Structure 1
Amino acid sequence: MTSAPPRASARASARPALRTVGRLAAAFAIALVLGALTSFGQAALPDALASLANSAGGWTIPTAIVVGLLARGRGEAAVGGALAFVALTLGYALASTARGFPFDPLAWSLIGVVAGPVVGLSAFALRRPRRRAAGAAILGGILLGEGVYGLTVVSETTSPVWWWIELALGAALALAVALAALGRRRLGDAILAAGGAVLVAAAFWAAFSALPLIWG
């Protein structure tokens, strides 16, 4: 029995890494384009949906979708989440600057480095039955939290339509996973999905309410 030639073996061992890099690059590129579209969306969307292009949920959803579809492991999901969130910020900044509205991406890029992996891992968790409840709690909680924030803190300057949509999406995700868990007689997962979403929502609301104090 003969072993594979060294070069062939090296190429074979490098393929998984190259595929990972390719998927991460794809996530970055897709998010970069979506970020740019977000900037143009601020001018194109009707007033009722204008907040979609200027909300954390508006970036959380595409980040979760892109990473959820592309990531093949937890590490890849975490890195992909950070890259996607930063790319959304950079795409938005580039498009906004080109439109004559300069935007400094530093602060939101730093937030993306922290929040992106959480979003990416949560999206990846939705594909794993044993971790789905945790993923739903985090993603659903983010949407619920910003929906409440929009309706309570910035309600006088924004339309309520997108905030209600976020609330509906967040509640639907958390409840769907909770009910599915109950159907499988997994009470702990049901409590985690529904109760966890409420806790994450409260934490999100508190954190977003504190941002003006932090940034001055």
Structure 2
Amino acid sequence: MPDHPLGRAAVVPVASLLLGGLTAYAQGFLPDALAPVANSAWAWTLLAAVLVAWARPGAGLAAVLGAVSLVFLVVGYAGASHLRGLTYDPTRFGAVGLVVGPLVGVAAAWLRSTGVRAALATALLAGVGIGEGVYGLTTVAETTGVGTWVAACVVALGLLAVMLARRLRGALPVAIATGGTVAVAAVFVLAYRALG
């Protein structure tokens, strides 16, 4: 694996494309209770955040890599779907990736910090997980089961708990992380319902 930050950054789009393709196939072999995880916003957000965090870029490059990763995840998914004889138009979620990807990338980079930056990063990433978990449990659980949505909430709450225990000190960062998580989750649910 490359050690130079730009070498690591170059891995992010390739890995994103491959992982996006893998998620299309994963829908066919994951157990029914977890099949929706292969096509969920929180899982793709988690993949993009992990890839960007692994690359260890500064905030500027992290913003670019976050967008690139989410767009390439969607393109990989669309390509693999096409190979499977299915039709998937990546336009809408590719555009979403361009808009939210920079935020995800910066959040992934800021998770290594402390204070307000770490609190904002935690709020965004945990809020997406909880938001999709709540959306799934209240909107689509009848047709998808609850496993994926419970897992999203558990992973997101785990991130929040770890950050509160290890990186966030003082009233302001704790308030930003907890209140921000709730706010991001609420916005996510409203936005996802609007996307239909």
TM over 0.5: yes
For residues 107-126 of structure 1, the aligned pairs below 5 Å read 107-126=92-111
Larger radius of gyration: 1
Q: Is the 8 A contact 1:175 1:194 kept in 2?
A: no
Q: Is the 8 A contact 2:118 2:167 kept in 1?
A: no
Measured after TM superposition, the shift of residue 25 of structure 1 is 2.3
How many equivalent pairs are there?
192
Choose from 136, 143, 155 the match for 1:157: 143
Deviations 1:137-165 (A, max 9, x none): 10000000000000001121111001001
% identical equivalent positions: 43
Q: Partner of 1:9 in structure 2?
A: none
| Matched residue SS, 1:156 | helix
Please give the alpha-carbon distance, in whole angstroms, between the structure 1 residues aligned to 2:190 and 2:35. Answer: 23
Measured after TM superposition, the shift of residue 129 of structure 1 is 1.4
Q: Partner of 1:43 in structure 2?
A: 28
Q: Partner of 1:200 in structure 2?
A: 184
Range that drifts further, 152-161 or 138-147: 152-161
- In structure 1, list runs of 5 or more residues that go unmatched: 1-18
Please give the alpha-carbon distance, in whole angstroms, between the structure 2 residues aligned to 1:176 and 1:192. Answer: 15
Please give the alpha-carbon distance, in whole angstroms, between the structure 2 residues aligned to 1:21 and 1:137. Answer: 28
| Matched residue SS, 1:90 | helix
Q: Confirm or deny that 1:148 pairs with 2:134.
A: yes
Provide the TM-score with structure 1 as the length reference: 0.85
Q: Partner of 2:119 in structure 1?
A: 133
Please give the alpha-carbon distance, in whole angstroms, between the structure 1 residues aligned to 2:167 and 2:71. Answer: 34
Please give the alpha-carbon distance, in whole angstroms, between the structure 1 residues aligned to 2:7 and 2:83. Answer: 28
Q: Partner of 1:92 in structure 2?
A: 77
Measured after TM superposition, the shift of residue 200 of structure 1 is 0.5
Range that drifts further, 103-112 or 75-84: 103-112
Q: Partner of 2:46 in structure 1?
A: 61
Range that drifts further, 188-197 or 22-31: 22-31
Choose from 133, 151, 161 the match for 1:175: 161
Q: Partner of 1:73 in structure 2?
A: 58
Q: Partner of 2:87 in structure 1?
A: 102
Deviations 1:70-98 (A, max 9, x none): 03201110000000001101110110100
